[in-house]
Chain A
Amino acid sequence: DIQMTQSPSAVSASIGDRVTITCRASQGINNWLAWYQQKPGKAPKLLIFGASTLQTGVPSRFSGSGSGTEFTLTISSLQPEDFATYYCQQGTSFPHTFGQGTKLEIK
């Protein structure tokens, strides 16, 4: 199975900050990388797929990059509604594993 490792596990930041979350795959995943945002008590929401394609309706302050085994999610200017937990997920081979999550908290 492909292991997905996110860093950091938690980050504190302020409104307006730029935040970057990293996701590393244990082997190459051909850019089959998705990012999700989850708020407490809610289902995850797709933000980015194909490593860098923004899902319809997601604000442009979110961006994704990377290839091969290392990927990043960047939020360019944090807004109050961005405080949540973020997960990466690979979709290149079964099982389609998730990272362990990164909790983004208000500083």
Chain B
Amino acid sequence: QVQLVESGGGLVKPGGSLRLSCAASGLIFSDSYMTWIRQPPGKGLEWISYISSTSTYTVYADSVKGRFTISRDNARNSVFLQMNSLRAEDTAVYYCATSAGYETSGFFDSWGQGTLVSVSS
């Protein structure tokens, strides 16, 4: 059974930094494409970043480009999101997600429980 567990969320001041982690189990992590998706309180889902299985390819939404960095450690079955220059509009629940049963990055059959990031002074 696939399990994704996010951690690292919390309260941070505008301009601050935070590093989110997502630990994966129950899948061949080194073959998995990983994605971060966020959801502001009471609002919809926003796709924000992707990393290929070997870290060769990364993609970012315009809203986070230049401020957020996705990375992974296949030896630790983990994916990370380094978030710098945080803004109030980055306040959201952050999910890591993957397609564990299919070789694709195009949809997500496995999600973590989410970790809340709050940006406020």
B59 close to A (CB within 8 Å): yes
Residues 66-101 of A at the B interface (beta carbon under 8 Å): 87, 89, 91-92, 94-101
Which B residues have a C-beta under 8 Å from some C-beta of A? 35, 37, 44-48, 50, 59-62, 95, 101-102, 104-109, 111-114
**Contact, CB under 8 Å: A96 / B47:** yes
Set A1, A38, A55, A94: member contacting B109, Cβ < 8 A = A55
Please give me the residue from chain B that is nearest to A48 by CB atom.
B107
Please give me the residue from chain A that is nearest to B95 by CB atom.
A43
**Contact, CB under 8 Å: A43 / B109:** no
Which A residues have a C-beta under 8 Å from some C-beta of B? 1, 32, 34, 36, 38, 43-46, 49, 55-56, 87, 89, 91-92, 94-101
Whole-angstrom distance between the Cβ of A92 and the nearest chain B Cβ? 7
9 new A-B contacts, CB < 8 A, other than A44-B95, A87-B44, A95-B62, are A1-B62, A36-B108, A46-B109, A49-B109, A89-B47, A91-B105, A96-B50, A98-B45, A101-B44
Docked Cα-Cα span, A101 to B50, in Å, equals 22
Docked Cα-Cα span, A87 to B114, in Å, equals 17
**Contact, CB under 8 Å: B47 / A46:** no
**Contact, CB under 8 Å: B111 / A98:** no
Docked Cα-Cα span, A46 to B99, in Å, equals 10
Q: A34-B106, A43-B95, A87-B44 are in contact. Are A94 and B59 (CB under 8 A)?
A: yes
**Contact, CB under 8 Å: B111 / A32:** no
**Contact, CB under 8 Å: B35 / A43:** no
Please give me the residue from chain B that is nearest to A85 by CB atom.
B44
Whole-angstrom distance between the Cβ of B93 and the nearest chain A Cβ? 9
**Contact, CB under 8 Å: A43 / B114:** yes
